[in-house]
Amino acid sequence: MKKTAPAPRTLDGGPAQHDGRTRQSVARLLLEQGPITAAAIAEALGLSPAAVRRHLDALVADGEAGTRDAPRRGDRGRGRPARLFLLTEAGRARFGHAYDDLAIAALRFLAENGGEQAVRAFAERRVATLVDRHRAAVTGQSDPVARAQALAAALTREGYAASTRGVGAGEQLCQHHCPVAHVAAEFPELCEVETAAFASLLGTHVQRLATIANGDAVCTTHVPLANAPKAIAPPVPDGGKSE
């Protein structure tokens, strides 16, 4: 009797039809934690390194991911530096953009008829609406670092995939996704007003170090520790431009 061939399986042991879900999980990790190594992805998702490399190779081949060399720290010998993976703009499109074309057209019309101040007023109204939903949860915290962590949680609920980490003389608030990045690339007032709103909400001056709208991998905002000198600001983490 002729045997039925078994269904094809992926390198991580799952059925072929699960490939799409696994690749989406890899892409989401790139979104939330990129730039990141293949080994770190494998560990986070519980996949084999071979399986992760296959999905990463597919994302790179489709133009949805890119690579860069990890920065060298200390004496690591003459070996090739580890490769970091991050999403391209095409890869970010997997997670949607907020009606970019319509928004840009509307803001252009607003700028033409009301000038730059009208665009800024719109940006302030938009950010105020977003911030007010979470104001009590953020301002109820005791210090700027705790407030930054609460703000990151609030921004994540709003679709910004945000996180914080301690760096040098403060905390860095990292937004790994920006639903309006394409719009903000043409209208930087959106980023400027957002930064001012963060400072007001956190109760301290902040410094915007990088933005996705400007081509960086992550929107990064430095939040200083209490009583830290204003002039101190650490370098952008894993930062630099997307390829």
pLDDT tens column, 16-34:
446 788 998 999 899 888 8
The answer to which of 75-89, 204-218, 226-240 has the lowest mean pLDDT is 226-240
Question: Which of the pair, 76 or 180, is modelled with greater confidence?
Answer: 180
Q: How confident is the model at residue 78 (pLDDT cuts 50, 70, 90)?
A: low
Q: What is the pLDDT of residues 87-122, one digit of tens each?
A: 988 888 777 655 677 888 999 999 999 999 999 999
Query: What are the CB-based long-range contacts (under 8 Å, 24+) for 79-82?
Result: 82/37, 82/39
The pLDDT of residue 36: 92
Whole-prediction pTM: 0.62
Q: What is the pLDDT of residues 158-207, one digit of tens each?
A: 889 999 999 888 899 999 999 888 899 999 999 999 999 999 999 999 99
Listed in order, strand segments (DSSP E) in 92-161 are none
Mean pLDDT of 46-71: 92
Verify cis geometry, omega within 30 degrees of 0, for the bond prior to 188.
no
Q: How far apart are CA 240 and CA 66, in angstroms?
A: 13
- Average confidence score pLDDT of the chain: 82
